[in-house]
């Protein structure tokens, strides 16, 4: 029995225009928007948009800029980079968007759509194939970890968008080096990335390094290594770079200087701004690395407990990030991308393949380095010893590798023949099957709701929700004794460490401003107001303990208590 499907007419005629429209930047944009909106709606009704503790902190930082006891740019602080909070600021002004976290969903959602569109363009740039570009974009937009994170106020999606944008324009510059506009665009988005997360600093540094290498008047002829060993082996190792315009060596050096300066001035400006900001506001340009709130300070606790396995262990650092990237990208998709990487490096065409791969793998190098140095920590069930206190923490760092994985998957699709293309599409479906049967977990979501990264709902929060009436509330937000958005307290009624002079004044004279004091064991209020006997006397003179739990105490000003009774 034989039957045929007419690819040109019949079903093909009906499907082709749709497929053709979908495999365009606009098509990908529409698809990504629909998926983003669907995912955000789903997670909104699941009440998991602000599941991460950090998600709430991002919302609060932005809220304090526009609406707090002491509003202003200084509320941006000196640890987390400011751009995501600046973007959030106009939206969190509206209480509903702040409390629900939807302000963050909007920013991350737009970033997701932009990233998907430009990822499509990256694959198209590398392959020239719209089909491969669409498949690459599909891998990106269907990733459940990304779909979750794009519904949250976390900063990964803005970084991914700027990373993809900067990479796209940089790759365009590599292809059309006489046109400097893509270089300027790349530097601008590198600047944005550098002001979004510290990963961006590494990105612009790598881009600058690549720019230097490709603009250097001399290049390396690797073929010399195929010669027999001898005195003449290395002769001709450095050769003059070909140039189309017959420029002199001096001209080439001037060109190198001009390009690097042009790129670096803009791309590194964000870094300089941040150092200056920290110096001016906090008195230390490297406050973000030294202070008690910095990531590296927090890692010291893990190190003391012997639970920082990647610290000063390059192999473990590599393994930790490898499996974090794998877990976020999906094991089948990741494996295919590795094959795609091999294909691209060894069977690909076009110049600068190794440098392009390096650019795509910038996050990988960054995280391996920071894990090694103890600047970051990841716990992932795949390799974290089960006897550790936590086996799930910070796994979302792996999503930064998804653009690279999607690009290489698209490339593999491009290089495959028909059967291979069908197999790759089946592979994407099979990956969903693995999520469906529970074989693979949506790790970034799991970490938010169950891991160490989650904002554990506290009973104290419910107490305040039911009993807070009015007045200022003194709390140490860094130790998160409760969720401010969920407690129903207006942000402008909160006194926290960033409210000068209220904070310092309250630690000396707690009754001076605050009507309520919320303190958690060993937080700064506990140490300054509750623990010292002389301060405790003062505290109980003016305040009455209205809530007690093993970890958290809440006090209310006695006069206010009488009034409210």
The residue count of the chain comes to 565
Q: How far is the CB of 53 from another protein (least distance, A)?
A: 23
For residue 442, give the 3-state DSSP assignment. coil
Tokens of 303: 């190190």
Q: List the one residue from 146, 319, 359, 525 that touches another protein (CB under 8 A).
A: 319
Q: Which is nearer to another protein, 130 or 441 (CB)?
A: 441
* Peptide linkage before 501 cis (omega within 30 of 0): yes
To the nearest whole angstrom, how small is the minimum distance from the Cβ of residue 326 to another protein?
8
310 scored as a contact of another protein (CB under 8 A):
no
Question: Counting contacts by CB under 8 A, is residue 3 touching another protein?
Answer: yes
Query: Binding to another protein by residue 17, rule CB under 8 A?
Result: no
Residue 266 or 380: the one with the smaller Cβ distance to another protein is 380
Q: Which residues inside 350-369 make contact with another protein, applying CB under 8 A?
A: none
Minimum distance, C-beta of residue 446 to another protein, in the bound complex (Å): 10
Using rule CB under 8 A, residue 338 touches another protein: no
Q: Could you tell me the smallest distance in angstroms from the CB atom of residue 555 to another protein?
A: 44
Smallest gap from residue 443 Cβ to another protein (A):
9
The interface mask with another protein, positions 106-145, x = CB under 8 A, is: ----------------------------------------
As measured in angstroms, the least distance from the Cβ of 370 to another protein is: 21
Of the candidates 299, 376, 440, 506, which one interacts with another protein according to CB under 8 A? Answer: 440
How far apart are alpha carbons 33 and 95 in whole angstroms?
24
Q: Is 418 in the site for another protein (CB under 8 A)?
A: yes
Give the pair of three-digit tokens for residue 555. Answer: 């006090």
Number of Cβ within 10 Å of residue 2's Cβ equals 3
**At its nearest, how many Å lie between another protein and the CB of residue 319?**
7
d(CA 377, CA 290): 17
| Angle at CA of residue 165, ends 159 and 171, nearest 5° | 130
Question: Quick one: 286 or 314, whose CB is closer to another protein?
Answer: 314
Given a contact cutoff of 8 angstroms between Cβ atoms, the answer to whether 485 and 49 are in contact is no
Strand 472-475 relative to strand 514-520, pairing: parallel
Distance in angstroms (rounded) separating the CA atoms of residues 522 and 519: 8
The nearest distance, CB 514 to another protein, in angstroms, is 46
Single out the residue of 26, 42, 315, 439 in contact with another protein (rule: CB under 8 A). 439
- Residues 6 or more apart whose Cβ sits within 8 Å of residue 135: 123, 409, 410, 413, 424, 425, 428
Sole binder of another protein in the list 323, 413, 445, 526 (CB under 8 A): 323
User: Which residue number, 332 or 553, has a Cβ lying nearer to another protein?
Assistant: 332
Residue with tokens 């390009």: 259
Question: What pairs with residue 514 in β-bridges?
Answer: 472
3-state secondary structure 257-320: HHHHHHHHHHHCHHHHHHHHHHHHHHCCCCHHHHCCCCHHHHHHHHHHCCCCCCCCCHHHHHHH
Among 124, 441, 480, 557, the residue binding another protein under the rule CB under 8 A is 441
Binding residues vs another protein (CB under 8 A): 1-8, 12, 319, 323, 327, 331, 380-383, 418-419, 434, 437-441
């Amino acid at each position: 029995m034989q039957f045929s499907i007419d690819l040109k007419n019949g079903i093909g005629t009906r499907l082709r225009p749709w497929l053709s429209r979908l495999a365009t930047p606009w098509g990908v944009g529409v698809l990504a928007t629909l998926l983003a909106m669907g995912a955000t709606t789903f997670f909104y009704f699941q009440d998991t948009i602000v599941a991460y503790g950090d998600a709430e902190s991002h919302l609060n930082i932005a809220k304090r800029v526009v609406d707090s006891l002491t509003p202003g740019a200084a509320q941006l602080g000196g640890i987390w980079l400011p751009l995501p909070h600046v973007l959030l600021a106009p939206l969190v002004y509206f209480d509903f968007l702040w409390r629900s976290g939807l302000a963050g969903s909007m920013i991350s959602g737009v970033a997701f759509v932009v990233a998907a569109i430009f990822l499509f363009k990256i694959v198209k740039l590398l392959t020239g194939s719209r089909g491969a570009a669409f498949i690459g974009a599909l891998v990106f937009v269907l990733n459940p970890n990304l779909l979750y994170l794009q519904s949250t106020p976390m900063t990964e999606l803005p970084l991914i968008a700027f990373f993809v944008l900067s990479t796209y324009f940089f790759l365009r510059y590599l292809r059309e080096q006489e046109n400097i506009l893509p270089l300027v665009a790349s530097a601008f988005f590198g600047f944005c990335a550098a002001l979004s997360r510290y990963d961006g600093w590494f990105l612009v540094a790598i881009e600058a390094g690549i720019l230097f290498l490709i603009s250097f008047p001399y290049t390396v002829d690797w073929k010399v290594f195929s010669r027999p060993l001898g005195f003449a082996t290395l002769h001709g190792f450095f050769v003059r770079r070909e140039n189309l315009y017959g420029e002199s060596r001096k001209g080439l050096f001037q060109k190198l200087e001009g390009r690097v300066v042009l790129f670096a001035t803009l791309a590194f400006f964000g870094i300089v701004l941040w150092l200056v900001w920290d110096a001016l506001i906090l008195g230390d340009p490297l406050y973000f690395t030294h202070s008690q709130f910095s990531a590296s300070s927090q890692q010291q606790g893990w190190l003391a407990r012997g639970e920082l396995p990647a610290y000063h262990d390059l192999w473990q650092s590599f393994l930790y990030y490898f499996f974090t990237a794998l877990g976020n990208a999906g094991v089948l998709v990741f494996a295919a991308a590795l094959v795609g990487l091999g294909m691209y490096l060894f069977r690909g065409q076009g110049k600068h393949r190794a440098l392009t791969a390096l650019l795509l793998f910038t996050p990988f190098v960054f995280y391996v380095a920071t894990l090694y140095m103890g600047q970051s920590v990841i716990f992932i069930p795949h390799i974290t010893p089960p006897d550790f206190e936590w086996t799930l923490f910070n796994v979302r760092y792996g999503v930064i590798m998804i653009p690279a994985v999607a690009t290489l998957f698209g490339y593999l699709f491009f290089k495959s023949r028909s059967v291979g293309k069908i197999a790759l599409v089946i592979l994407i479906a099979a990956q969903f099957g693995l999520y469906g049967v529970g074989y693979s977990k949506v790790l970034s979501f799991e970490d938010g709701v169950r891991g160490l990264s989650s904002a554990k709902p506290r009973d104290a929060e419910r107490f305040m929700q039911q009993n807070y009436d009015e007045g200022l509330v003194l709390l140490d937000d860094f130790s998160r004794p409760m969720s401010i958005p969920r407690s129903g307290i207006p942000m402008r009624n909160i006194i926290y460490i960033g409210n000068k002079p209220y904070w310092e004044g309250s630690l000396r004279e707690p009754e001076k401003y605050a009507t309520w004091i919320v303190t958690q064991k060993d937080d700064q209020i506990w140490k300054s107001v509750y623990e010292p006997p002389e301060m405790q006397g003062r505290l109980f003179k003016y305040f009455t303990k209205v809530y007690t739990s093993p970890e958290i105490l809440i006090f209310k000003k006695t006069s206010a208590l009488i009034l409210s009774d």
